Structure 1
C-alpha cells in the first residue's frame, strides 16, 4: 500500500484554504507545507530584526487554528518548513494552540540549519540570514518518535516528502534509489498547483479553474504516482509533471544533502486520469558539502515609470533621461533605464498609444535613492516632454536584499531533531559522499527532416522557467518524437541566445535530458543579485520560458 503524501503550500502566501481542502478532499497519510524560498528567508530575517520571537510563517499557525483538530481526527501527520528562522518558536506556538483547543498533539522540530551565529567562523561574512539546507533524517527521527506535527527550518523542499516516506518504509541512508525516487516526487509536489496545471504552458488544453493541490503516492521502492483529490480543478498529466520536473534544476544530477538524484533516469507514464506514474529514479551518494543560503541588506532602491504617449517616443525617452540624470545632485550608485515599447501606431485608445519608460535607482544612502531621486523626477512634471505623466510618483527609498549561495562541509553543520518529549537527538552527517560531476553528454537523436514552417517555438514545445539566486533556469520539452528530434538538434545555445538577446552576453549552459524529451538551459547572472535586488523586469525569470515560446523560427509543420 502506497503512502499518500499531499502538499498544501508552495510558497509563503499560497492559497489559505488548501490545508482544509487537502484534509477533507480524500485520504492522506501526511500533509506537507512548503513556505520557504530565497526571498522568504529575507522577509523572515527582517521580521526577526523587529522582533526576535518572530521569524516563522505566521500564516501556517492561522491555518492550523482552523485545521489542527481535523488533522488529528483523520490521523494525518503534518510536516512543514514554516518554522523558517525560528522553528522552536513555531513549535512552541503550535503546542500553545493545541492546549488552547484541548487537543493532544505531539509536536517536534528540526533545528541546526541557522548558521548566523557562526557565520564569521565559517567564512560566510556578515549576512542577515545564513541557513544550511538540511536533509530528511531529522524529520524521520521526529516521526519515529510519534510526532503528529514536525516543524523545520531550512530543509530542502523535497525533504518534506522524503522524510515521511523514509519513516514509513524504514529506508536507510544507503537506499539511494528509493531516496532519489522520493526526491523526484518531492520536487514535483513542492510547488503546489504547478504540478496540477498551474502556470502550465499548454493551459488552454485544460479546464484550470482553481487547480487542486498535488499528492504523491510513494511505493516502497521510491516509485510514485502524482495525483490530486477527485473533483478539484486542474489536471495531472505527463506534461504538467514534466514541466515541474524541469523547474529550477540544472542538469542530470540533482544534488541534495541525503542523495544525488539522477533526473536522466526518470520515466513518466500516464496511469489514468489525473495520475502520472514516475519510475526508474536512480540515486547516488550526496556531495560532502551542503548549500547555505545567505541574505544580506544590499542598500536602498527607488523607481518610477514615465508614460510616453503618441509620436517621437525615442526622443521623449532621451529627453527625460537626460533631464533627470542632470538634475540629480548626487548620482546614485546604480541607475537603470528600461523602455517598454508598448505603443501601437494609430491607436484607438490612449493606453495603446503609450510606451513605458522605467527608471530604477539603487544606493547605500536612503536619501540619495529616496528624496533626492523622487524630487528630481517630479520637478520635471511641467518642464519635460509633451504629455508628461507617471504611473505612480516615486516615494521614499525601500531597502533591498542580496542573495548569494555558499557551501559548507556537512560535518560542520548541526542537524538536531527535538522530539515531542524535548529530547535532542543529533543527526549524523552522511557517511558516504561523492563529489558532484557532470554526466557525459547523451547522444542526440537523428535530426528531424520533415517539412517546417515559420511559427512560434511554443506551438511545438512547452517551457517553464525560474530562478536560482542570480541565475535563471529554463526547461524546454517536446511532446512528440518528431518534435524532440527537431528540438534537440535546433535549440542550441547559439540559437537560444539569438532568440533571447538579453542572454547573449552571459554564460549559458545547455543540459540534455532525452528521457523527458527536454533541454534545460542555465543562464548565469541574468538576475543579478537575486530576486530581492529586482535586477530586471521579471526578477525571478518566471516568464522567461514564455518569452522563448513566443519567438519565431522554422518549426516542424
Structure 2
C-alpha cells in the first residue's frame, strides 16, 4: 500500500479531446485513469441512439480511444475507470472484450449496472420517460478493481464516483470512512471536467499559459486529502484559482450530496504548494442521503427554429412587424412560440454584420406537423412581403424531436446496484448503512457590514472570477476573489437582490445564495432559469456557461484599495 495514488482524468464530456487518453498514459506515472462522458443532455442523445439500435447507448468515442491505447494502459499497469457505458454498460463491456481479443490482449473487463430504472419507472413513480438512470456510488467500482479489473465500465454513476471508487480500492476504505470518502469526492469533482481544472474556462485566463492544456491529476492520500496537479510539460496551470473555479462548478449549497457521503464544501482548505501543485485538505464528510437522484429524460415533442436578420434602422419596429405577420400566416399556432430579439447591432456600423440584429423564432409542439413544413413555409412566404432587408441566416428546416430533463429521487435500497466481474460473476452492492435524511442548506445569513472606504465603479470581474453552469432547469454562478478583505467585501455586497439587478433576466426568479468563506466565494443557484433542462430551453446560453462572465462584465462600486493594490492569484 502506498501513501498516495495518482488518479488522472482523460475526458470531461462526450466529445472531449480524443488524444487525451494517450497523452495521459504517455505523459507520466498514473495508477488510475478516469473518463467522464455523461451529462444530462448526453443521456438524451444516448437514449435516441438506443431507440435506433438497441446494441448502442454507450459513448462510441471511448471504444475508439481504447483501440489505440488499451495495450499501452496494460503495459503501464494503469487501471481505467469510465462511465462511458452510458445506457448500455454491458454492451460496451462486450465490445471491449471483443476489441481486446482482436488485439491479442488479455484485458480483464468489469461493468457496473443497475442504474437503469426504465423497466420499473412507473412502479417507482417516475412516469414514462425515455431514460431513467439513478446516480450510483463508488463501491461497485471498488469491488471491480478489488477483483483485478483492468477496465471498469459503468452506466450512470456520480461524476466524482470514478475517483472515489479508485481511491477506495487503493486504500480499502469502507462506508464508515466518511472524511476520506468526502475528500475523494472533492478531488473527483475537481478533475471530472478535464482541462477546466488546469485553466480551461478560467476567468483570469490571461494569467495562464493557455494553448494545448494538460488534463488534471489528483494525488489522493490515505486520509482523503489530495494534491491536484498535471503532467510536467503540459499546457495550462494548476493554481488555487483554477481549482477554486472548478470547485464552484455546478454545485449548490455547502453540502455536496453523493451516494456514499455528503462532502462539506465549506470545510475545504486549499494551499498552493508549488507551481502546478495545489493541496486540498480538511474535507469533512457527513452520512449520505437515503435517496439516490435519478436522471429522467422525456421526449416532449418537435422543435423548429429560425434566425431572422434585421439590419440598420428601426430594429424594434422591424421585429414587431415580422412577428405580427408570421403569427398571422401560420395555419395553426404551435403550443409554444417564442420570439427573442438579440440586439447585436451597433450604431453607425462600418460593416453590415455589425449593423444587424437577430430575431430568433422557436416553435415547439407535441404534433410535429405544426412545427414542420407549415412553420418553414410561413417564414419563406414573407421573404418579399415584410420589412426592408429581410433575410435569414439559413433556410428553415423541418424540425427535430426534443426532450426535457427532470430529476427524480428513489430510495437507494430499491436500486439494484450490481457489478459483473471479469469472470462473469455478478455481485450486488448494498447501499451505505449510514444513510440518513440529509439536512437542507439554508441561504447564508448576511455578514456584519464593514466600511471599505471610497469606491470607484468598475466591472465586477476586475477583481472577481466566476464559473457558471447548468443544474437541470436551474443554473449556478460561483463568484470568488483572491484575498480575505476582498471576500469580506464581496460577501456583504453581492446579495441575491444585487444579482437580480445586475442580471435582469433572473430578477423575478428564486435565487439561493450560499457563502463559502474557505474558498473566498459566494455561490448562487438560480431556480428555473433554464426551464426544463438544456435540451428544452431556448435561452441564448442554454447551459448557462457564460452567465458568470456576463455577471463579471457588470459595473459595481468597488473599493479603490482593491483596484489599486491588485491581488495574488
TM-score, normalised relative to structure 1: 0.99
SS at match of 2:535: helix
The answer to whether residue 307 in structure 2 is matched with residue 305 in structure 1 is yes
2:60 aligns with: 58
SS at match of 2:128: coil
Distance 1:345 1:146 in 2: 66
Asked whether the 8 Å contact 1:529–1:535 carries over to 2, the reply is: no
Deviations 1:35-84 (A, max 9, x none): 00000000000000011100000100000000000000000000000000
2:79 aligns with: 77
Distance 2:188 2:530 in 1: 26
| Pick aligned residue for 2:279 from 277, 280, 286 | 277
Instruction: Tell me how far 1:447 sits from its aligned partner.
Output: 2.5
Instruction: Tell me how far 1:434 sits from its aligned partner.
Output: 2.2
* 5+ residue gaps, structure 2: 561-569
Matches within 5 A, 1:201-212: 201-212=203-214
Distance 2:424 2:182 in 1: 31
The answer to whether residue 458 in structure 2 is matched with residue 438 in structure 1 is no
**Is the deviation greater in 224-233 or in 531-540?**
531-540
SS at match of 1:160: helix
Deviations 1:75-103 (A, max 9, x none): 00000000000001000110011111011
2:349 aligns with: 347
Distance 1:351 1:517 in 2: 41
The answer to whether residue 498 in structure 2 is matched with residue 530 in structure 1 is no
Asked whether the 8 Å contact 2:175–2:434 carries over to 1, the reply is: no
Distance 1:446 1:172 in 2: 44
| Pick aligned residue for 2:427 from 425, 428, 438 | 425
| Pick aligned residue for 2:549 from 543, 546, 549 | 546
Asked whether the 8 Å contact 2:362–2:538 carries over to 1, the reply is: no
Deviations 1:407-454 (A, max 9, x none): 000000010011110111000111112212235746736525123110
| Pick aligned residue for 1:491 from 494, 498, 509 | 494
SS at match of 2:168: helix
Deviations 1:139-180 (A, max 9, x none): 010000000000000000000000010000011110000000
Distance 1:398 1:205 in 2: 42
1:15 aligns with: 17
1:555 aligns with: 558
1:335 aligns with: 337
Asked whether the 8 Å contact 1:293–1:403 carries over to 2, the reply is: yes
Provide runs of 4+ in structure 1 moved above 2 Å: 438-448
Distance 1:245 1:135 in 2: 19
Distance 1:545 1:370 in 2: 35
Distance 1:2 1:185 in 2: 13
Q: How many residue pairs get matched?
A: 557
Asked whether the 8 Å contact 1:445–1:488 carries over to 2, the reply is: no
Distance 2:156 2:511 in 1: 29
Instruction: Tell me how far 1:397 sits from its aligned partner.
Output: 0.9
Asked whether the 8 Å contact 1:445–1:485 carries over to 2, the reply is: no
Do the aligned partners of residues 486 and 62 (structure 1) sit closer, same or farther apart at CA in structure 2, a change above 3 Å counting? same
SS at match of 1:23: helix
The answer to whether residue 226 in structure 2 is matched with residue 228 in structure 1 is no
Matches within 5 A, 1:83-98: 83-98=85-100
Asked whether the 8 Å contact 2:446–2:492 carries over to 1, the reply is: no
Matches within 5 A, 1:314-329: 314-329=316-331
| Pick aligned residue for 1:455 from 449, 453, 458 | 458
**Is the deviation greater in 476-485 or in 231-240?**
476-485
**Is the deviation greater in 478-487 or in 438-447?**
438-447
Distance 2:270 2:451 in 1: 23
